[in-house]
Amino acid sequence: MGVITGAMQDYLKAIFKLQQDRSAVSTSEIAARMRVSAASATSMVKRLARLRLVAYTPYRGFALTSAGERIALETIRHHRLLELYLAQHLGVSLDKVDGEAERLEHVLSEEVEARIAATLGNPTHDPHGDPIPAKDGTLHDVHHPTLRHLPPGQAGVVDRVSDSHPDALRRLAGLGVLPGVAIKMVAHRSGGCQVEIGGRTLTLPRELTQGVYIQWLTAPTKP
Amino acid sequence: MGVITGAMQDYLKAIFKLQQDRSAVSTSEIAARMRVSAASATSMVKRLARLRLVAYTPYRGFALTSAGERIALETIRHHRLLELYLAQHLGVSLDKVDGEAERLEHVLSEEVEARIAATLGNPTHDPHGDPIPAKDGTLHDVHHPTLRHLPPGQAGVVDRVSDSHPDALRRLAGLGVLPGVAIKMVAHRSGGCQVEIGGRTLTLPRELTQGVYIQWLTAPTKP
DNA sequence: CGCGAATTTTAGATGGCGTTAAAAATCTTT
DNA sequence: AAAGATTTTTAACGCCATCTAAAATTCGCG
């Protein structure tokens, strides 16, 4: 009956991330995220709806139920604990921990999860700076501004870089865009932005900027 | 094409263990071992045969091919390294490591496997005393003493000669070291040992002795 | 040897997860 | 608002991995 497979966990995780701001997620969004045909996405969403893990209205999109969100958060917790453990205790490089954790997260027992968390000192953030959900589902700082939200002329500090696109992560690391680094917005361009970092000026395409979460050095005027 | 699933790895592992003495394994044996119906076992064996991982004759049983054995040994290596790692580095109790390793073994990358092995100091036995296959598929039979374990002055009979190193096997055969032959240990030397066989005295280098499994003519004192 | 018993294989379902192609619904645009 | 474009769903298929029931084969015993 209520068998939650690894693939389902992956979809739930992806839906969770997609619905951060938006209230509902569309079939094409999840299909693109999972690199799957729209038809496959539909059938999976229907399966998840049958298990009451998403609320789904045909042609109108879907959103996680609280049960679905619970599983998404558990899976993300597994993922981020594993990333941190692999990096700190087995010396796996940062651009590889995501892929490794992606497979391990689905077969991690509650017991081993607890032992890993304890060994790490119950950490609250993974090696990319992303927050690790607590056992009770608490997740800190979800609505961080990204680089795109930094107005021209304003400087900020990179808070964390999302692990959802490993190759983007690697390219950014190569450009020196790492947590803790100061960054200044020069100008917004169509399809990206021009920034100043470590004295150099770079133009970052859109797909690289959207995973870069920042802190403003001086708070901007709230919208 | 050649996608080896976790279930296939489990079957290959089980077939490997069942065929230790016997030359062929039957459908009912593997079905019982995997707690699965005979029909399921048949269909899986047919899948494995299609991938050339087992040699299968309908109604007559089956055995691993060398490709199948390689995968079985890799899986067993993953399993036993994980058991040891979970016990030593995460404090998982011995009665639980098997179940945990059972799920993790199928998603362990070569890289993490290597890092775990290195962290453990490239161990040769898991916490239950079972030998851990080496990367090249070498497996030291733990319950079976090899020539090296024969004390000086003690005589034994060659039980079997490992087939994992065909050229060593050939050289040993040329020297008369064959199953059923009586052999007497004269002295242990650095890097090998001196033995008496068929009235002649030979000095065998280490790489030749380690695949020679023996039986003692008189049992040694138990530890 | 031959026949009943045991083993093994085949046939046909089911469910998960993916595909492509076509139909249905919704959006967009004039 | 109708037509055309886009999105979404359905239909039909394939593969894995399991099941039950029935057919085929082999074994064992009188």
* pLDDT at residue B10 is higher than 90: yes
**CATH label of the domain that carries residue B166:** 2.30.30.90
- Residue A155 falls within a domain, yes or no? yes
Q: Which helix (H) or strand (E) holds A18?
A: helix A6-18
Look at residues A44, A64, A84 and tell me which one is the last residue of a structural domain: A64
Q: Using the beta-carbon criterion (under 8 Å), do B103 and A89 form an inter-chain contact?
A: no
Number of CB atoms found within 10 A of residue A53's CB: 27
Q: Using the beta-carbon criterion (under 8 Å), do A103 and B109 form an inter-chain contact?
A: yes
- Residue A126 falls within a domain, yes or no? no
* pLDDT at residue B223 is higher than 60: no
Q: Cα(B82)–Cα(A169) distance, rounded to whole angstroms?
A: 29
Return the ∠ at Cα B74 (arms to B69 and B79), rounded to 5°. Answer: 125
A25 secondary structure, DSSP code: B
Q: Cα(B190)–Cα(A143) distance, rounded to whole angstroms?
A: 68
Which nucleotides along chain D are within 7 A of a protein C-beta? 7-12, 16-22, 25-26
pLDDT confidence tier of residue B220, bands split at 50, 70 and 90:
very low
Look at residues A64, A91, A108 and tell me which one is the last residue of a structural domain: A64
Closest residue (CA) to C1' of nucleotide C8 is B59
- Residue A127 falls within a domain, yes or no? no
As a whole-number percent, the residues of chain B with pLDDT over 70 amount to 91
Which pLDDT score, from 0 to 100, does residue A222 have?
39
- Residue B169 falls within a domain, yes or no? yes
Which pLDDT score, from 0 to 100, does residue B59 have?
97
Which pLDDT score, from 0 to 100, does residue B141 have?
66
Which pLDDT score, from 0 to 100, does residue B166 have?
56
Q: Which of B205, B178, B170 is nearest to B191 (CA)?
A: B205
Which pLDDT score, from 0 to 100, does residue A219 have?
47
Which pLDDT score, from 0 to 100, does residue A52 have?
97
Domain that holds residue B32: 6-64
> pTM of the predicted model, to two decimals?
0.73
Lowest mean pLDDT of A5-14, B79-88, B143-152, name the range.
B143-152
Number of CB atoms found within 10 A of residue A34's CB: 17
DSSP secondary structure string, A18-50? Answer: HTSSSSSB-HHHHHHHHT--HHHHHHHHHHHHH
Q: Cα(A33)–Cα(A128) distance, rounded to whole angstroms?
A: 20
Q: Which helix (H) or strand (E) holds A195?
A: strand A192-197
Q: Using the beta-carbon criterion (under 8 Å), do A91 and B115 form an inter-chain contact?
A: yes
The Å distance, CA of B31 to C1' of C13, is: 20
Q: Output A153 or B72, whichever has higher pLDDT.
A: B72
pLDDT tens sequence across A56-95: 999 999 999 999 999 999 999 999 999 999 999 999 999 9
Which pLDDT score, from 0 to 100, does residue A155 have?
83
Which pLDDT score, from 0 to 100, does residue B2 have?
73
- Residue B170 falls within a domain, yes or no? yes
- Residue B90 falls within a domain, yes or no? no
First-to-last alpha carbon distance for chain A, in angstroms, is 47
Which residue matches tokens 């945990």? B100
pLDDT confidence tier of residue B190, bands split at 50, 70 and 90:
confident
Which residue matches tokens 């951060």? A20
- Counting one residue from chain A and one from chain B, the pairs whose CB atoms sit within 8 A come to 39
- Residue B96 falls within a domain, yes or no? no
* pLDDT at residue B221 is higher than 80: no
| SS (HEC) of B115-132 | HHHHHCCCCCECCCCCEC
Mean pLDDT (chain B, rounded): 88
DSSP secondary structure string, B91-106? Answer: ---HHHHHHHHHHHGG
* pLDDT at residue B163 is higher than 70: no
Number of CB atoms found within 10 A of residue A21's CB: 7
- Stretch B34-56: mean pLDDT: 98
Please state the φ and ψ torsions of residue A201, each to the nearest 5 degrees.
Answer: -105, 130
* pLDDT at residue B152 is higher than 70: yes
- Residue B25 falls within a domain, yes or no? yes
As a whole-number percent, the residues of chain B with pLDDT over 90 amount to 53
pLDDT confidence tier of residue B32, bands split at 50, 70 and 90:
very high
Q: Cα(A183)–Cα(A190) distance, rounded to whole angstroms?
A: 19
**CATH label of the domain that carries residue A45:** 1.10.10.10
Question: What domain count does chain B have?
Answer: 2
Which residue matches tokens 């795109």? A148
Closest nt by CA–C1' to B38: C8
Which residues have CB under 8 Å from A103's CB, separation 6+? B107, B109
* pLDDT at residue B175 is higher than 90: no
Look at residues B64, B84, B102 and tell me which one is the last residue of a structural domain: B64
B208 secondary structure, DSSP code: H
Q: Please state whether strand C lies within 7 Å of residue B47 at its CB atom.
A: no
Chain A closest CA to B123's CA: distance in Å? 16
Weakly modelled stretches of chain A, pLDDT under 50: 219-223
Search chain A and give the residue with CA nearest B120. Answer: A90
